[in-house]
Amino acid sequence: MRRFDFLQISYMNPVNLNSADQANLGLARAHHWDAFHQAMRPRLGATAKFTREEPLAVKTTIRLGGSARLYAEPGSEEDMRLLLNAAAAAGIAVLPLGRGSNLIVPDAGVEALVISMAHENWAKFEARPDGAVWVGAGLRLKNLCGLAAKAGLTGFEFLEGIPGNVGGALRMNAGAMGGWMFDVVEAVQLITASGESRTLERAAMHVDYRHCAELHDAIALGALLRPSAHADTEAVGRQIDVYKKKRQESQPREPSAGCIFKNPPGNSAGRLIDQSGLKGERVGDAEVSPIHANFMVNRGAATSADLIELVRRVRARVRVAQGVELEPEVLLYGQQWKDVL
């Protein structure tokens, strides 16, 4: 695992095992996850969710993939710290989860503890007297836009229509309509893999296109944002509607994970895919959207294997037809694309 892989369970390579050994290995693994779950459940706050084999497809926008061996929705920083410390001690990898709008979950699921920011305690929006706004990492970008408009604050409208939350947008430095998440960030509060809470000023962070280095091995808990100005609520609302309409006209409605590939410098991945004649290309129920060539949609029963095969095919065709190597923007949860492409 690439992200948040401060420690991992190292398994024997099952390739050389006979079927009885494989079954035993499966039981040993299940026992390991069960033991962690049983030990931690009583230590977490009453409102925290903590489960085994939680299906992840429904927690992603593209709606495919398997389960998390362990899944938590901690309700406090203390819960978060307990989980991180215990996972590190047990050699269990941790994967943060936002709204799953930039993820492909493998069909076999993830051998990790997934920590989601879905608990309501992470969805705060507080306008500060000095004009800044404090937002929790679990706040949906849609709600951030709506609450800012209501408070008469402008500067966040470009985030309208990005179906993630604040934490995912920080990790991805999400961007649209000429703006980037880190354009409006003053500071980020995060918790490290060892459970240490820190606040980093924007100037101390390393961010670029769809990337924030400091959040590779840490979980964002919240951020201090700076609106560009005060404005009339209706005027902010009108700008949000303009962006909403633009998206509705240019993006497919079917389940997707947004843009599959990064735009190569000075070029558009969607245009390159379209010019290679790939709109409508299909593997199983995974399809290159006929509306926007850089979106792959789930036509109903797509698997992650279908989607990965489609990514392979599109890359190969664009390489041959256009001489450009496209790099995925969506993340393969708990794995690296280079290992499957």
Ligand X SMILES: Cc1cc2nc3c(=O)[nH]c(=O)nc-3n(C[C@H](O)[C@H](O)[C@H](O)COP(=O)(O)OP(=O)(O)OC[C@H]3O[C@@H](n4cnc5c(N)ncnc54)[C@H](O)[C@@H]3O)c2cc1C
Residue 212 appears among annotated catalytic residues: no
User: What is the 8-class DSSP label of residue 91?
Assistant: T
In the complex, least distance from residue 172 CB atom to ligand X, rounded to whole angstroms: 4
Q: Closer to ligand X at the Cβ: 256 or 335?
A: 256
Cα separation, 147 vs 132, whole angstroms: 13
Q: Closer to ligand X at the Cβ: 152 or 179?
A: 179
Q: Closer to ligand X at the Cβ: 12 or 336?
A: 336
Identity at 163, one-letter amino acid code: P
Among 37, 48, 87, 102, binds ligand X (CB under 6 A): 102
Query: Which 3 state secondary structure label does DSSP give 193?
Result: coil
Of 86, 102, 250, 108, the residue nearest 168 (C-alpha) = 102
Q: Quick check: 335 binds ligand X (CB under 6 A)?
A: no
Catalytic residue among 99, 140, 210, 315: 210
Q: Quick check: 205 binds ligand X (CB under 6 A)?
A: no
In the complex, least distance from residue 64 CB atom to ligand X, rounded to whole angstroms: 13
In the complex, least distance from residue 21 CB atom to ligand X, rounded to whole angstroms: 33
Contacts of ligand X in 132-151 (CB under 6 A): 137
Q: What are phi and psi of 286, to 5 degrees?
A: -95, 130
Give helix then strand counts, H and E, for the chain: 7, 21
The residues pairing with 136 across neighbouring beta strands, listed in sequence order, are: 222
Q: What are phi and psi of 309, to 5 degrees?
A: -65, -40
Q: Interacting stretch for ligand X, rule CB under 6 A, among 12-20, 144-152, 166-174, 306-314? A: 166-174
- Counting other chains too, the contacts that 317-321 makes at CB distance below 8 Å and 24 or more residues apart are 317/276, 317/277, 317/278, 318/272, 318/273, 318/276, 318/278, 321/275, 321/276, 321/277
Question: What does the binding site for ligand X look like in residue numbers (CB under 6 A)?
Answer: 3, 61, 95-103, 117, 137, 162-165, 167-169, 171-172, 174-176, 215, 219-220, 251, 256-258, 331
Q: Which residues are catalytic?
A: 210, 259, 329
